[in-house]
Structure 1
Amino acid sequence: MTNWLLRASAAGLYFFSAFSFAADDSHEQFKQAERIAWSGNYEAFQQAVAGLDHPLKPYVEMAFYKRHPRLRYETEIDHFLTIYEHTPLEWPVRDSWLSYLKRHNKKARFINYYRDTSDAELKCTYLTYQLDLGALKKPILEQVADLWTVGKSQPKACDRLFSMWSKAGYRTPELVWQRVTNAAQRGQTSLLDYLAKLLPKKEAYLAELYQEVRRDPSSAAGLYRFKQRSAKESEIAVYGVRRLIWRDPELALKAWQKMQAMFTFSKQQKDSVAYRFALALASKGHEEARFWLNKVPHERQDAKLLQWLMSNMLKEQDWEGIAVLFTGRDNLSHGQKYWLAYSYAKRGELDKANTLWREVAVERDYYGFLAAARVGVPIALNSEPLQVPQTLLNKVSQAPGFKRAKALYELERYTDARREWNYLTNTSSDDEKLAASVLAAELDWYDSTIFTLAQIGAWDYVDLRFPMAFKDLFIRYSERNRVDLAWSIAIARRESSFAPDARSSADAYGLMQLLPSTAAYVNNRNKVSKKRLFQPATNIRLGTNYLEYLKRKNEGNEILATASYNAGYHRIKRWLPDEAMPAELWIELIPYTETRDYVKNVMAYRQVYHTKLGRDGNILAAVLDMKIAK
């Protein structure tokens, strides 16, 4: 428990006494009532609800009305939808109710209960029913274009509406081409076959050409395919060459040179190609990267491009170029200031370098800690205590959304719990969000606390943003696997914000985001179930084991091990330079943005936890003396 929480407890601020209940018994009553609701017995459901005193009582009602929508329950459903509109409880019931009304052809009722949604089937049904019941055609049909021009096939419920819209003359050649473009760029082959028939006969081949370039970007280099040298062909050519540059830079460069003699490209098209070429060639370390980076107009030089411009100059040791790049620009990032100072130092302008490094050294991030090591000053955590009035804590703790989130967390229904938490915070003031963060911290909802504070930019509440989550488990397994405690906690903080049930799009699981294959590998080739990976003890044991393995593979280098944790050991080996390079420079030149940022974040988080554990010193100081090489 952090110091400020200890003080709060000593003052008698026990946040949850006002709404505590015998959780086990109460939750069992809720689950029993929910099972009755699922069964569809209305009288038993009514009895169960009437006798239930539980924050999730509306979830019992939701369960019944979602599974058993009937016209005879319309009054109750209408009341439920009115009471819980805009909450996470609304759409499970509304969607089921609308589907029921549609099945029974209750058009007027459907229109009455419809609310705007991204569900194309419901929206098309809503618009069609209005036309069926005599609504003015013009305002209805004017809403159809956005539904029709999407790059995928729409539900059958839209067919009649689209037909009426088309017959009324709203489907223009421009809209057809817009949909061809969207469908081609999404690779929707069957839709393109249909759309080709809607193009003028002499342009029908364009749909196939677009698809061919999508499937194989090198097709764009076959300039014989562009028969008419029209504006539409130029769009396809630009699309193709922008994709080709990532796969075959040499072919893309040659193709673009020839294309410019064939087409009259707009400035916007040329600038988009220059931007994409610059990013692709810089990330690949291509010899023409510098040319294309400088070709991008100043107004299109965003943070991503400036990073590559700087990286290219760092690689070439163009210290003068870095000074020119950043001098005079407003709102330089901490990293840009750090490397501008570095360029000054390399040019012998140490006073200017140290002045700028001292400015960066007051920041609590990777560059701030590096700069502090450069000028020999203590690192700055800039931590502030969070003081929230007890009256506000009481108010938020009594909010129905908070009570529902708390009960759902206790029932381990984490997805529903987070929906309720998001609803609560999205409808709260910043002060109420701070209070909610305090309450969440007391309940060990680490990820909810971290994300809520980030949502309002409350960066300086370090104790809340960097909790000692699952400390006993991290101590036990970090010691067992001989890895630094601050390091292993920092990895988990970066990977999942300490959400035990985290699951990534790549199917990595749990606190330390382990792939099942990785977990099995470090578990003596024994398969580990996904359910077990959601268990903190199992995940931390295997995650710290994997860290130790990567540290050994990288001959004790924890920077390379950290990078390997994100990008994979073999990929990192390919990124190692032939000749020794300063470690801080190697980190800045990591070609994958995700991995580059990952390493910086983990190192910064590790320093925060290093200090929170009562340890002295700046651990990033070692980076300044380290060299990286194959």
Structure 2
Amino acid sequence: MQQGVGVHIVSNKVGVSFLLKAVTFFKRLPMLKSFHVFTLVAISSSFQLSHAQVSPLFPDDIYADERARFLILEKSLRTLPKRRLEDLDAEIYGLANYPLYPYLLRLRLERTMSLKTQREVEQFLEDYAGQPVSYGLRYRWLNYLASRGHENAFLSSYRNGMGAKLTCQALGYKLKRTDNPKPVLTEVDPLWYSGQSQPDECDPLFAKWRSNGLMTPDKVVKRIAIAAKEDNRRIIPYLKRQLPSSHQYLADAWSSVSRDVSLVNRTRLFPMKHKHNEAEILTWGIEKLAWRNPKAAMKAYDTYAPKNIFSVPELHIIQRAIALSATLDFLPEAHEWLDKADIEGASDDVKLWHVSFLLRAKQWQRVVDVIDAANPELQQEENYRYWKARALEELGNVMQATVMYQQLANERNYYGFMASARINSQPNLSHTPAPRVQSAVQAIANTPATQRAMEFYRLERSTEARREWRYLLSNLPDSQVTDAGVLAYEWGIYDQAIISFAKSGYWDDVERRFPLAFESQFSEKSEAYDVSKAFAMAIARRESSFMVDAVSPVGAAGLMQLMPGTAQYLAKEKVSRNTLFQVDDNLDYGVQYLRYLGDKLNNNPVLVSASYNAGWRKVLEWLPAGEALPVDIWIENIPYKETRSYVKAVLAYQYIYEHQLGENKNVFPQLTQDVIPSSSAVSTHPVTGTLQLAPR
């Protein structure tokens, strides 16, 4: 709990004022005169706590009274018996000028849905079309109408893209109203092409579609392929029965390969009867097999390629997968497969890994040759320019390399900073603040979406606030998106400032794009755990863009995206996700974890940042098996694309924050001198028994 927020929240002056107003307000509501005062205390406490925790940079609060009434009405709309909701209407309409008023209207409509309210619902959906307050309402309304058989109202309100169940319902209603079913049935194909079982509402529609001759073997095989690729083999037996006997073996082949991709090497599954269909199965299976067992994939390729069943795109898919997998495993065959895959029309990542493999092998002339063979547009990307310069330097062509480094050094990115370090020049941050025009910024602040976002932030409903901010950005002219970024920065909504500047493409406002958010807390934790403050801020900037309540798909939470298990390991006690949403706690665990990784990995910022993203055990697996590798070459060979990008970003951000904090530091010169040790440097800690790098 932040300073100034006591346990007895309603005992402060504002809290008492709020409570008195709330009691008066509640007594005006019919049927609520006996509402328990302790409920009011709870609501008041919740409100005051939220109010105390908002950004200190927010503008003056002009809606405190309306917000209190909103909270009470919101709760009443959710809990009162439906028959008494009309009694709230006067109080609801009394908040018509409050930014969150539409959300009360929506709650009212959701609780009172009936055919009598059709005009109100449709008017609301029209008035707030595309706005967050309307999200999901049409879906709920249509489900209500369908459940009660109101077909005309349903078709009047239905819109495309409402999901399989409602789409099947709509098409079924349309079929009942036409003597010519063909135009309606042509809309069934997209519903059929699903790897999952469709809702029961679709069964009559599919039956009509089939009886009209629109189900063909190709359409059935296509759905089998989709199901197999989604690992849903349960529906394949049903689909197999829809095929003529001449095609049923394709269902068996898809099912077998989906279960075990190594079965692509079982040639009896592929009698070459329907070569196009079999080639699709083999392409998918060999590609998957390549990532598990590249040599087995090579065998399959050698078996089927001579049969000339693969299209050119299919060959590219297979060759790419084998080449990249062999490269990641550093197999001797990688040379051959990279040459085979790196042809015109190949994906860009083939070229990238071709160069990376040659870097690891230190075949510098081949690096130059492969880059020179790339298309001109690709050659101009910063990574290829850096590596060509690096290769030329290694080949002794220092003058040409220096010219290329100098050009790169003007760019504000990882490769630009590395190039600067290689020629001992100061990196160029190119900071140009976005112009601040008061009238333009104020215009953004006054928009209804901004006002709604602000209210949700004050209520600590960050998800709803971000929805409103996204809606704001999506509806602003490009010329005003930067103004929105300036406003978000000034209000301390740093994640939305970062997003707004990225959307506008205004990259040169370095200070606003890399804010010194929560600086005092970072200072405290960095000093306590002896971790570079700039490094910790760089990690947080990359992890969450300073979004306090960020949650990743795998459950990492808060500013520094800590997994609860990691926090519990450090704390030696249970740590809840809500704890990780507290800035102080999250930074404590996050910076402490950086210290833990630093101790394990000799304080190497490259290995620590890679470990923060992918896990230290995985990073130890990636250490070179032979001799040590230069840092830049090792980074370029990190197997995970996400981790590769992450490490480059964190290192660049670290330098930016070193500059922002006024530190006379630069991480990059040391990186040009350091090497990543070989796996032989991994040892077992004598006390803990865990793996770690041996001290340098």
Q: Under TM normalisation by the shorter chain, which class is it? A: over 0.9
Specify which of 405, 418, 425 is matched with residue 377 of structure 1.
425
Further displaced range: 271-280 or 325-334: 325-334
Do residues 306 (structure 1) and 354 (structure 2) align? no
2: distance between equivalents of 1:490 and 1:628? 21
Q: CA deviation at 1:224?
A: 2.5
2: distance between equivalents of 1:15 and 1:76? 39
2: distance between equivalents of 1:517 and 1:15? 33
Specify which of 628, 640, 646 is matched with residue 592 of structure 1.
640
Contact 1:319/1:346 (<8 A) preserved: yes
Residue 334 of structure 1 aligns with which residue?
A: 382
SS of structure 2 residue aligned to 1:620: helix
2: distance between equivalents of 1:486 and 1:240? 46
Contact 2:151/2:173 (<8 A) preserved: yes
Specify which of 544, 560, 564 is matched with residue 516 of structure 1.
564
Contact 2:342/2:354 (<8 A) preserved: no
Residue 473 of structure 1 aligns with which residue?
A: 521
Q: CA deviation at 1:443?
A: 1.8
Residue 501 of structure 1 aligns with which residue?
A: 549
Further displaced range: 175-184 or 285-294: 285-294
Specify which of 47, 54, 77 is matched with residue 37 of structure 1.
77
Do residues 576 (structure 1) and 623 (structure 2) align? yes
Tell me the alpha carbon deviations over residues 248-305 of structure 1, each in whole angstroms, 9 at most, x when there is no partner.
1222211221223456322232222112212222222222122112212533333322
Residue 27 of structure 1 aligns with which residue?
A: 67
Read off the aligned partner of 2:167 and give its amino acid letter. K
Do residues 482 (structure 1) and 518 (structure 2) align? no
Residue 106 of structure 1 aligns with which residue?
A: 150
2: distance between equivalents of 1:455 and 1:555? 38
Q: CA deviation at 1:225?
A: 2.3
Q: CA deviation at 1:324?
A: 1.3
Residue 162 of structure 1 aligns with which residue?
A: 206
1: distance between equivalents of 2:229 and 2:254? 8
Specify which of 590, 603, 622 is matched with residue 556 of structure 1.
603
Q: CA deviation at 1:70?
A: 1.5
Do residues 535 (structure 1) and 578 (structure 2) align? no
Contact 1:66/1:92 (<8 A) preserved: no
Contact 2:342/2:351 (<8 A) preserved: no
Specify which of 224, 238, 246 is matched with residue 291 of structure 2.
246
Residue 90 of structure 2 aligns with which residue?
A: 47
Contact 1:582/1:627 (<8 A) preserved: yes
Read off the aligned partner of 1:379 and give its amino acid letter. P
**Structure 1 430/388 Cα, relative in aligned 2: closer, same or farther at 3 Å?**
farther
1: distance between equivalents of 2:438 and 2:602? 52
1: distance between equivalents of 2:134 and 2:444? 21
Q: May I ask how many residue pairs the two structures share in their alignment?
A: 614
Residue 226 of structure 2 aligns with which residue?
A: 182
Residue 392 of structure 2 aligns with which residue?
A: 344
Do residues 134 (structure 1) and 178 (structure 2) align? yes
Further displaced range: 547-556 or 22-31: 22-31
User: What TM-score does the superposition give when structure 1 sets the normalisation length?
Assistant: 0.94
Specify which of 344, 353, 359 is matched with residue 407 of structure 2.
359
Tell me the alpha carbon deviations over residues 328-367 of structure 1, each in whole angstroms, 9 at most, x when there is no partner.
6423211111110011011110000000000100011111
For 1:188-207, what aligned pairs fall within 5 Å after superposition?
A: 188-207=232-251
Do residues 219 (structure 1) and 267 (structure 2) align? no
Read off the aligned partner of 1:142 and give its amino acid letter. T
User: What TM-score does the superposition give when structure 2 sets the normalisation length?
Assistant: 0.85
Read off the aligned partner of 1:434 and give its amino acid letter. T
Residue 471 of structure 2 aligns with which residue?
A: 423
Q: CA deviation at 1:309?
A: 0.8
Tell me the alpha carbon deviations over residues 435-461 of structure 1, each in whole angstroms, 9 at most, x when there is no partner.
111111122211111122212322111
Q: CA deviation at 1:228?
A: 4.2
Q: CA deviation at 1:308?
A: 0.3
Do residues 609 (structure 1) and 657 (structure 2) align? yes
Contact 1:496/1:510 (<8 A) preserved: yes
2: distance between equivalents of 1:481 and 1:377? 32
Contact 1:36/1:44 (<8 A) preserved: no
2: distance between equivalents of 1:192 and 1:45? 54
1: distance between equivalents of 2:462 and 2:160? 27
SS of structure 2 residue aligned to 1:89: helix
SS of structure 2 residue aligned to 1:300: coil
Contact 1:282/1:289 (<8 A) preserved: yes
CA-based RMSD: 1.8
1: distance between equivalents of 2:190 and 2:631? 51
Tell me the alpha carbon deviations over residues 108-155 of structure 1, each in whole angstroms, 9 at most, x when there is no partner.
111111122241111111222122223742322111111111221111
Residue 37 of structure 2 aligns with which residue?
A: none
Specify which of 93, 100, 107 is matched with residue 63 of structure 1.
107
Identity of aligned residues (%): 35
Contact 1:176/1:198 (<8 A) preserved: yes
Contact 2:256/2:263 (<8 A) preserved: yes
2: distance between equivalents of 1:397 and 1:16? 11
SS of structure 1 residue aligned to 2:599: helix
Residue 140 of structure 2 aligns with which residue?
A: 96
Following TM superposition, where does structure 1 have runs of at least 4 consecutive aligned residues deviating by more than 4 angstroms?
A: 14-17
2: distance between equivalents of 1:187 and 1:438? 47
For 1:115-154, what aligned pairs fall within 5 Å after superposition?
A: 115-134=159-178, 136-154=180-198
For 1:450-461, what aligned pairs fall within 5 Å after superposition?
A: 450-461=498-509
Contact 1:15/1:439 (<8 A) preserved: no
Specify which of 583, 587, 592 is matched with residue 545 of structure 1.
592
Tell me the alpha carbon deviations over residues 417-451 of structure 1, each in whole angstroms, 9 at most, x when there is no partner.
11111111111111221111111112221111112
Read off the aligned partner of 1:483 and give its amino acid letter. V
SS of structure 1 residue aligned to 2:557: coil
Q: CA deviation at 1:386?
A: 1.1
Read off the aligned partner of 2:615 and give its amino acid letter. G
1: distance between equivalents of 2:596 and 2:255? 45
1: distance between equivalents of 2:65 and 2:568? 38
SS of structure 2 residue aligned to 1:615: coil
Residue 272 of structure 1 aligns with which residue?
A: 317
**Structure 1 29/376 Cα, relative in aligned 2: closer, same or farther at 3 Å?**
same
Residue 291 of structure 1 aligns with which residue?
A: 336
Further displaced range: 276-285 or 511-520: 276-285
SS of structure 2 residue aligned to 1:611: helix
Contact 1:365/1:604 (<8 A) preserved: yes
Q: CA deviation at 1:82?
A: 1.3
1: distance between equivalents of 2:621 and 2:354? 22
Q: CA deviation at 1:500?
A: 1.1
Residue 491 of structure 1 aligns with which residue?
A: 539
Q: CA deviation at 1:23?
A: 4.7
Contact 1:486/1:606 (<8 A) preserved: yes
SS of structure 1 residue aligned to 2:246: helix
Specify which of 289, 293, 303 is matched with residue 258 of structure 1.
303
Residue 6 of structure 1 aligns with which residue?
A: none
SS of structure 2 residue aligned to 1:264: coil
Q: CA deviation at 1:474?
A: 0.8
Unaligned runs of 5+ residues in structure 1 are: 1-13
Unaligned runs of 5+ residues in structure 2 are: 1-55, 682-696
